[in-house]
Structure 1
Amino acid sequence: MIKIGKIELGDFPLLLAPMEDVSDPPFRAVCKENGADLMYTEFVSSEGLIRDAAKSVQKLDIFEYERPVGIQLFGSDVETMGACSEIASRVNPDLIDINYGCPVKQVACRGAGAALLQDIPKMVRMTEAVVKSTHLPVTVKTRLGWDESTKNVQEVAERLQDIGIQALSVHGRTRVQMYKGEADWTLIAKIKDNPRITIPIFGNGDVDSPEKALEYKNRFGVDGIMIGRATIGNPWIFNEIKHFVKTGQRLAPPTLAERVAVCRRHLEFSIRWKGPIAGVFEMRRHYTNYFKGLENFKPFRMRLVEGMSFEELDQILNEVVQEFSEVLC
């Protein structure tokens, strides 16, 4: 049984990666319903939270149905990160996560996210400040290093464990790589093999199929896998992986009716969270992903994007089932 603090996650947990503009409460809801064991919020700016910025505060929204769930924080100032950990803890998540992996310029160039991989002493001080400011378990997500010449994640794992983090997720690329090239899990395996390391180690990067998940589990010995981009429009990947790991057999892919049902559930959660206008608007980015691969789907996608109410969108989704089920038969 893999545990983070007192949180029990099963024998080989599957984690939903924090993704900006993706892993909001509605998306987390459908991932939870389709087998995710632990999820994280979109990353929350410590500077925004300390200023009580509406966008940052809204990202603290968590719901009972999605537990266990962690709030992920990022920032460049040690004291601010400590203070924000205290604020985030008040909404009672299951854990606090620190982002030391985000590679995008607007984060890294401000000294946050993956930029901390260039200053390990500061990373240690920041992590210690967060650990001391909360009663909750603290976890970290990071990368192999800043670039090929500074792959320091093994040192990072030891030093952060020593000051109290209770799990580590590692994306198998450097910051310079961004999301290009193939993720390298060999250093992740070395962390797991280190006899000094006693906390759970989760691998992240390029897992997009049940076969690859099982291969990486066996090959690299990780305690679990964090999945990001492969979940977009495909939240059932969690149950597919679980079934394959258990039986060695692939689940049948979701039918069109099942894809529509999950899309509809996502829309319902979106409206419930953001209201009838913003909820409909927020959902527009997801339709292409849910129906990827359907030929001649563009007219329906345009209608879904232009739809203004749940009733209208529900009718269009019913038409999608009627139109394309015949084509797929």
Structure 2
Amino acid sequence: MAGITDLPFRRLVARFGAGLVVSEMVASGEMLTAKPSVRAKARSELGLDLPTSVQLAGREPEPMAEAAKIVADMGAKIIDINMGCPAKKVTGGASGAALMRVPDHALRLIEAVVGAVDLPVTLKMRLGWDSDQINAPELAKRAESAGVRMIVVHGRTRMQFYNGRADWGAIAAVSEAVSVPVVANGDIVDAESARVALHRSGAAGVMVGRGAQGAPWRLAQIAAALYGRALPQLPREGELADMISEHYEDMLRFYGSDVGLRLARKHLRWYAEAAGAPLVDEMMRTTTPEATLALIRAAFSERVAA
């Protein structure tokens, strides 16, 4: 969820209710440069009593360990190691899912991070690199022995990227291999898909990624259905326009007006697609915050969240 689960979006998801929110992936090497825009990815001040996990990606143990120390000092409650990103620019640098091809090296990286901080360390991975190298259960066992406290598994291989359907049943082998909690991920978009994923995977929980795009209340809806919690109060009609406007303005404050205006467009499109709102093309072309806010009001004032 790089470029999506930034602090403004995590604040919004947390406001509706979630068990845990995770930062967008932060490159460990870039974290060490102290560049403000990179450090901003790891900010965790939600304004609510909800833990934030900061996800780090990298290929060498030492920078990963140093980056973990930095984000711990910034207030992270959990450090998550990314060994699941399938993007070519990440795997081409021997990070993300590419680490599953070299489990001995991956373990050295895990051990370095666990040894660097007193925080819980978790691991995000895929089933394996491809259908001929399904090694998630083996890697999970070794990660548990190294001190990892929770494992999230996306039910696809790296070579599948996001094609086809996530194989939740294949995650069951990971659940059986370890005693730490395993979390199922991939194609979980509502309560029904969450129930099926839990049943097939034997996992302790689910992680929602793309299913929350345009619907920051989705995690709270799923939790309510699965665990008998109170349903979140969804924004209705004018309330939906108010919420989207607040999200938009929070992004402008966080990134600055020019960058925030551009980065917010993907969220506005997802909101419009989810609510069946008009004026999408106009919102994608606006060049001032004032014009965008006016279009948000026009597009969403009579729409409801679902």
Q: Same fold (TM over 0.5)?
A: yes
Bigger RCO of structures 1 and 2 (CA < 8 A, at least 6 apart): 1
**Structure 2: runs of 5+ lacking an equivalent:** none
How far the C-alpha of 1:307 sits from its partner, in A, is: 4.9
Q: Over aligned residues, Cα RMSD in angstroms? A: 2.5
The yes-or-no answer on 1:50 pairing with 2:29 is: no
Aligned to 1:241: 222
The yes-or-no answer on 1:158 pairing with 2:158 is: no
* Distance in structure 2 (CA, Å) of the matches to 1:53 and 1:153: 34
The yes-or-no answer on 1:70 pairing with 2:53 is: yes
Aligned to 2:296: 317
Query: What's the CA shift string for 1:233-259, capped at 9, x where partnerless?
Result: 111211221232245999998644443
How far the C-alpha of 1:37 sits from its partner, in A, is: 1.5
How far the C-alpha of 1:305 sits from its partner, in A, is: 4.3
- Cα 1:119–1:296, aligned 2, differ >3 Å: closer, same or farther? closer
2:42 to 60, 68, 71: 60
Query: What's the CA shift string for 1:43-100, capped at 9, x where partnerless?
Result: 1111112233343222122214253101111111122212221222211200111000
- What letter is aligned with 2:38? S
Aligned to 2:127: 144
How far the C-alpha of 1:208 sits from its partner, in A, is: 1.2
Percent of paired sites with the same residue:
31
- Cα 1:33–1:145, aligned 2, differ >3 Å: closer, same or farther? same
How far the C-alpha of 1:198 sits from its partner, in A, is: 2.0
In 2, are the aligned partners of 1:124 and 1:159 still within 8 Å (CA)? Answer: yes
1:81 to 37, 50, 64: 64
**Structure 1: runs of 5+ lacking an equivalent:** 1-18
* Distance in structure 1 (CA, Å) of the matches to 2:125 and 2:160: 13
* Distance in structure 2 (CA, Å) of the matches to 1:235 and 1:296: 17
1:41 to 23, 35, 39: 23
In 2, are the aligned partners of 1:47 and 1:80 still within 8 Å (CA)? Answer: yes
Query: What's the CA shift string for 1:22-55, capped at 9, x where partnerless?
Result: 0000111111112222111111111112233343
TM-score by length of 1: 0.84
In 1, are the aligned partners of 2:83 and 2:125 still within 8 Å (CA)? Answer: yes
* Distance in structure 1 (CA, Å) of the matches to 2:170 and 2:158: 15
- Cα 1:269–1:146, aligned 2, differ >3 Å: closer, same or farther? same
TM-score by length of 2: 0.90
* Distance in structure 1 (CA, Å) of the matches to 2:227 and 2:121: 30
- What letter is aligned with 1:227? V
Aligned to 1:209: 190
- Cα 1:98–1:185, aligned 2, differ >3 Å: closer, same or farther? same
* Distance in structure 1 (CA, Å) of the matches to 2:206 and 2:125: 14
* Distance in structure 1 (CA, Å) of the matches to 2:147 and 2:104: 15
* Distance in structure 1 (CA, Å) of the matches to 2:95 and 2:215: 30
Matching of residues 80-159 of structure 1 within 5 Å: 80-159=63-142
Aligned residues: 303
The yes-or-no answer on 1:170 pairing with 2:150 is: no
